[in-house]
């Protein structure tokens, strides 16, 4: 399992548009992708789950990937977060 933590910098947090893009990006990998915030973990491939975290600017989320392509998934998602959130 691989993971990284990221502090949200987008003024609106993880709102609908980036949540949709995140789900789309996560869904391209076979690995199980999970988002964790304040002890709550959700499937990053489901938009309702991602939105339910309510991650706001300044809050930290942890992204985990577990599976055959976890290295590639973590690298791609880290880049996604830096560019979009």
Residues serving a catalytic function are 15
**Four-point Cα dihedral 73, 9, 60, 21, nearest 10:** -40
Each residue of 38-51: b (16+ CB within 10 Å) or e? eeeebebbeeebbb
């Amino acid at each position: 399992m691989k993971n990284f933590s990221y502090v949200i910098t987008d003024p609106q947090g993880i709102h609908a548009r980036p949540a949709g893009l995140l789900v789309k990006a996560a869904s391209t990998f076979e690995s199980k992708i999970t988002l964790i915030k304040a002890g709550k973990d959700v499937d990053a491939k489901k938009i309702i789950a991602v939105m339910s975290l309510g991650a706001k600017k300044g809050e930290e989320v942890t992204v985990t990937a577990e599976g055959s392509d976890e290295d590639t998934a973590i690298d791609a998602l880290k880049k996604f977060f830096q560019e979009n959130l």
